[in-house]
Amino acid sequence: MKMNWKQVTFVAAACAVCASVFVSSANAADWGQYEVDDRRSGFTYMTDESRAMQVDSFQNPGMIWVEQGAELWTEVNGKAGKSCASCHEDATAAMKGVAARYPVYDEGAKTLQSVETQINHCLENNMQAEPYKWESTEMLSMTSFINNQSLGMPVDVKIDGPAAEWYEKGKAFYYERRGQLDMACKHCHEDNAGGIIRANTLTQGQVNGFPTYRLKWQKVGSIHRRFRGCNKQVRSAPFGYGSDEYLALELYVKWRGRGLPVETPAVRN
């Protein structure tokens, strides 16, 4: 039986709709912990190969930094003659949950502390050692090691009390247009998640896997490196590593991913 063009078009459209529904249903069923309500980890946007690389600790290249961090944990550093283990002992117990709840407001320091700023606070004040530079091998290794102790735990940052002001600043940053392209974070990661730009798939911009090993970078990088990269892409002057602007944004974006699992070190394109 021959079909005319109208019949062919109708059948093709019907098949496309059915396929779309099938794929959407499969995705919704398959992502498990990587999807919480309307929040999806960047893991769900990656290729099968990238996902397989991440979940296999022998294949995951980011584990090199985790292993280096484990060595730094017990290494004596500074005039006080201490290592991180001198105070915190076993990292698997002491650091469990840290990545899930940071950034946190520090009443003593009267500021918001990320894992990076907390590490440097301990180095300078407790160990009498030099602070790590933000994107140094030492900092990336230590943060990778510490955050990896919370692997699989749901993100649960607090945005009440003194942290509320930081949360609001981060939210304002997220929705503020900036740069020569006059774009805000939300234009890519909220309005067009799942779309394609410059041959790259846009995600929700969740940060539950940082420090992340990016195939583009061929190394792990911090959340603030990613923020700076995004600012540059919209032709806006980036803020400094550890700046109040990025600390506030980190808190807000981390809250946007509440309930998603810590994936450090995640693998992303």
Token pair for residue 188?
Answer: 């890519």
**Separation between Cα atoms, residue 111 and residue 88, nearest integer Å:** 22
Catalytic residue among 84, 185, 188, 230: 230
**Separation between Cα atoms, residue 264 and residue 3, nearest integer Å:** 54
Are the C-beta atoms of residues 100 and 154 closer than 8 Å to each other? Answer: yes
Q: Note every long-range contact of 84-92, with CB atoms under 8 Å and residues 24 or more positions apart, other chains counting.
A: 84/122, 84/127, 84/142, 87/122, 87/126, 91/145, 91/146, 91/149, 92/149
Are the C-beta atoms of residues 134 and 120 closer than 8 Å to each other? Answer: no
Are the C-beta atoms of residues 43 and 54 closer than 8 Å to each other? Answer: yes
Token pair for residue 85?
Answer: 């283990």
Q: Is 122 a catalytic residue?
A: no
- Catalytic (active-site) positions: 230
